[in-house]
Structure 1
Amino acid sequence: MTSDEPLAMKAGARYPSARQVLTLAWPMTLKAIMLHGTVVIDAYLVAGLGEMSLAAMGLAAAIAGFVLGAILAFANAMQIRTAQAAGSGDPVYLKSSLAAGLTINLMVGATGLAAITVSGDWIVAAMAPSIEVAGLATQYLSIFSFVIIGEAIGQCLSSYLNGCGRTRLPLYSFCLSLPVNVAASIVLIHGYLGLPAFGVGGAAMGSAIAVAVQVAFLAISMKRTDGYLLRVSGWRQVRFGPTLKRHLAFSLPIAATFFSATFATHVCTLIYAKLSLNDFAAMTLIAPWIMVTGTIGMQWAQAAGIIVAQLLGQRQPEEVLDAFLSSAWRGAFVAAGLVSVLLAGVCLSANALYQDLGIETRATLLAFLPILLFLPFPKGSNAICGNTLRASGDTIYVMHIFVWSQWLFRVPATALAVVWLDLPAEWVLSILLLEELVKFPAFHRRLYKGWWKQATLSE
């Protein structure tokens, strides 16, 4: 299988190999890492305008982030649905997945824009430290609305291509749009080439131009390869209304899982602020590293989930599913080992990376090492279970595991450790590891029961 073809086992192969997971996973991983890097680049470009502009962009981006996050959550659900359709080889199913996913994403984007229009000014005014920052944030947010609509379409097309196994095209689209974003932002922020200097608004304009380029590339690419879907008649559930309703029912638990995780993370971050200054600084520094390096394991698990969904769509026998999952699981442990090495490098290099920080903060980063060496392994194994169960349609059970582990364990345990017990940062960070261990039995017991292998995906 190449990354530009739906899953097909090579002649003589008994089941897809871990190499095929890697073929899908590496473009998705690079795109995810570059996406996180874009936030850093935008902040760097705006930082030259001063703290006020930087604060305005951060505030506006935080508000828009909830809408973009919702779009991404529904797009991830569509990715699984498309993989099921691609495995079945049914063009009506593929068309239904694309149309329903695009409709839902546009509805989510439009709802988010309506909410920002109605209450955005009030939220900005309430959260901004000054009137000047509020004005700049409102300017940025009004222009960024175009990005939201573009992402609603772009994320949908990317998820469709990922689900079909063509993961390189979304990566290529991002590689094309990233330099456009940087170049356009620099010109529009500072007013080069005879254009006015738009300041912080120029950063939003650069993002809007880049998203337009990305969507155009994806649309043109899909027109060449999947344009035949426009001529396919009929819908998965006979009519479009029931088809859309079924797609939404599949997607909602996945979206709810995302919202719960995002809100729980924000709550825990607020609790972290009660730590000592050095401990809070260390937690703030390590969080992005955990997120960025963690994309390696998460994207591997997502790629494995795509192939499982395709195999289920093909109605492959249980022995093929078992053999493939064992191979993917071994690869997941290799990915976890790589993440452990990267995080260990961050901790051991703290004195060189953060020379301007205090000795206590750097010592705390080093104290994180034992936790971060072990964390990727249960996290990666849980991710394989979660994505496999989602691929079979068992999305509600996966949602319950995430939601209850977050709100009955992680958030209360964090509050207890920080507010009442006044534990050091390394003990607080260990709660992330304990949360994975709490989820571990529920995920693995469900998977080993094997019900997911009988999923017909007809509904």
Structure 2
Amino acid sequence: MQFINRYIHNQYVRNNIALAWPLALNALLMQSMLMIDTLLVSPLGEIPLAAMGIATTIVAFIMGIQMALANGSQLVMSRAVGSKNALALTKSCWSGMSINFSVALVFWSVLLLFEESIVALITQDVALQAEVLRYLSVAKYVVLFNAVTQVCIALFNSLGKTKIAFKGYLIELPINAVLSYAFIYGTAFTPELGVVGAAVGSLVAIFVRFIYLALCVSTLDNISLKLALNIHEALINARKHFMEIFPVAANVTMLSIGVSVYQLLYSQLSINAYVAITLVLPWMRAGGQFITAWAHSSAISISQAIGSKKLHDLEDNVNISINLAVAISLMTMGFFFILSFWIADIYPDMADETYQALAIIAPIYIILPLVRGYNTVHGHVLRAMGHTTAVFKINFTGQWLISIPLCALLILYFDASIFWAFAIQPFEEIIKAFPFRFLARKAVKEFSHHDAEKLSY
């Protein structure tokens, strides 16, 4: 009880919780949309469900890059908020917006021109290719609206107004669910589109959230985002901002690409094994959002402290963040343990082989949150203190030099079972845990006001 009271009454913890719970619910609602789409599409059979899994992997990869860029901008904006520099906040917001939307246009153009070739590289099944392309024909427009909404969310997060983004997802979720159902199965007012109906529902819903967030930005109190810069000055500022956020974005993007590569490797397993992973991944992402939200709130608080040069309790606050991250991870494990008993009832229309595959991977997705949560909070804290390159090296080595090649070898050469293929993910987190711990302890002890000045350019 004393342990709990000690943390509950800690001001850093209370501030982080105030930031974290809307962040967690934001991400949970975002993942819920994918789970709802999965539930709605699952009665259509394995082919449409696998098609949605492949298509959403491609879209999620692009959105992961957009979120990475926004996360980098969020750290810059958080330092501006901590230093109470309104001009720096305005510059970073517009620079982040221009960079994110430009990247979205590039990826949208790539899908427009090369989506058939990309899908053909993933699967040779002609029927599956056709379903994936139908879904992408609509879903690729989601990335354009997502670019703007992610930067708006980063702005509100840096200001501590995380509830605004939460309300946006509350608006988006029911619209997405209702419209997806209507367009998947058809009504008196909507055509029956099958799996592509889920993409239509998502597109309309994110457009509504885009309008809501834009209105919220326009009504911010005591903050003006009007920026009187000529084109040359704007380009110089955007370049500085890009150089600031690129290491953060590269790190998160590299991890996002790794997740997509894992998913593509799993698509080479039997269709029942791949469908089992497709069914469980949204739940894994949803459960992981609580620890990710706590890590994000810790990074925001630490960035604000760095901006304000208040470093006297930095080490204590980092230790608190890590300890509570472990506690949250243990609770997530309990949730997944319960889920393993009910997942067959949640998806009642699958083949027996799919249920067998779900049972085989249950121990893996139950244990994964503990090591992944531990690494997640270390990574966010280190990025807030400017150690992005070191974090990138740890993630790159653990994922791209060791784990992904090993996964590819097991699946493509040894024809390994779903258990060993899926077990590579906790293996990756385990081999990264010690370097993260060592670097975090060293970085906190050595961080100084001179380091804070270097970050607050």
Q: TM-score, normalised by structure 2?
A: 0.83
What amino acid does structure 2 have at the position aligned with 1:458?
S
Classify 1:160/1:287 alpha carbon distance in 2 versus 1 (closer, same or farther; 3 Å).
Answer: same
Q: How does 1:84-123 map to 2 (within 5 A)?
A: 84-123=79-118
Q: Determine the structure 2 residue equivalent to 1:61.
A: 56
Q: Deviations over 1:364-392 (max 9, x none)?
A: 346x27x844x434432322221111112
Q: Determine the structure 2 residue equivalent to 1:379.
A: 372
Classify 1:192/1:337 alpha carbon distance in 2 versus 1 (closer, same or farther; 3 Å).
Answer: same
Q: Determine the structure 1 residue equivalent to 2:179.
A: 184
Distance 1:89 1:239 in 2: 22
Distance 1:424 1:66 in 2: 26
Match of 1:26 among 13, 17, 21: 21
1:437 paired to 2:433: no
Q: Deviations over 1:64-86 (max 9, x none)?
A: 33322221221122222221111
1:256 paired to 2:250: yes
Q: Which moved more, 1:412-421 or 1:24-33?
A: 412-421
Distance 1:25 1:274 in 2: 37
Q: Determine the structure 1 residue equivalent to 2:4.
A: none
What amino acid does structure 1 have at the position aligned with 2:234?
F
Classify 1:49/1:273 alpha carbon distance in 2 versus 1 (closer, same or farther; 3 Å).
Answer: closer
Match of 2:216 among 221, 224, 239: 221
Q: Determine the structure 2 residue equivalent to 1:406.
A: 399
Distance 1:140 1:422 in 2: 30
Q: Determine the structure 2 residue equivalent to 1:304.
A: 298
Shift of 1:308: 0.5
Q: How does 1:183-202 map to 2 (within 5 A)?
A: 183-190=178-185, 192=187, 194-197=189-192, 200-202=195-197
Q: Determine the structure 2 residue equivalent to 1:446.
A: 439
Q: Determine the structure 2 residue equivalent to 1:204.
A: 199
Match of 1:290 among 284, 290, 308: 284
Match of 1:171 among 166, 173, 189: 166
Q: Determine the structure 2 residue equivalent to 1:315.
A: 309
Q: Deviations over 1:41-96 (max 9, x none)?
A: 22444456666655655554343333222212211222222211111110011101
Distance 1:28 1:309 in 2: 17
Shift of 1:115: 1.0
What amino acid does structure 1 have at the position aligned with 2:109?
A
Distance 1:314 1:402 in 2: 30
Q: Deviations over 1:209-256 (max 9, x none)?
A: 211211111111121115742346569xx9322221122122222332
Q: Determine the structure 2 residue equivalent to 1:364.
A: 360
Distance 1:362 1:108 in 2: 37
Distance 1:27 1:343 in 2: 22
Percent of residue pairs bearing the same amino acid type: 28
RMSD of aligned C-alpha atoms?
3.6
Classify 1:21/1:136 alpha carbon distance in 2 versus 1 (closer, same or farther; 3 Å).
Answer: same
Classify 1:188/1:286 alpha carbon distance in 2 versus 1 (closer, same or farther; 3 Å).
Answer: closer
1:73 paired to 2:68: yes
What residue ranges of structure 2 are gaps of 5+ in the alignment? Answer: 1-7
Distance 1:274 1:130 in 2: 12
Classify 1:245/1:362 alpha carbon distance in 2 versus 1 (closer, same or farther; 3 Å).
Answer: closer
Distance 1:361 1:230 in 2: 52
What residue ranges of structure 1 are gaps of 5+ in the alignment? Answer: 1-12
Q: Deviations over 1:31-50 (max 9, x none)?
A: 21221221122244445666
1:161 paired to 2:139: no
Q: Deviations over 1:143-195 (max 9, x none)?
A: 33432211111111011111221111111001011112223334445554545
Distance 2:396 2:14 in 1: 33
What amino acid does structure 1 have at the position aligned with 2:27?
A
Q: Which moved more, 1:273-282 or 1:222-231?
A: 273-282
* 8 A contact 1:70–1:259 mirrored in 2: yes
1:336 paired to 2:332: no
Distance 2:129 2:276 in 1: 29
Q: Which moved more, 1:72-81 or 1:288-297?
A: 288-297
Classify 1:57/1:227 alpha carbon distance in 2 versus 1 (closer, same or farther; 3 Å).
Answer: farther
Shift of 1:120: 2.1
* 8 A contact 1:354–1:362 mirrored in 2: no
What SS class does the counterpart of residue 141 from structure 2 fall into? helix
User: How many pairs align?
Assistant: 441
Distance 1:276 1:195 in 2: 35
Shift of 1:448: 1.8
Q: Which moved more, 1:181-190 or 1:413-422?
A: 413-422
Classify 1:241/1:303 alpha carbon distance in 2 versus 1 (closer, same or farther; 3 Å).
Answer: same
Classify 1:226/1:118 alpha carbon distance in 2 versus 1 (closer, same or farther; 3 Å).
Answer: farther
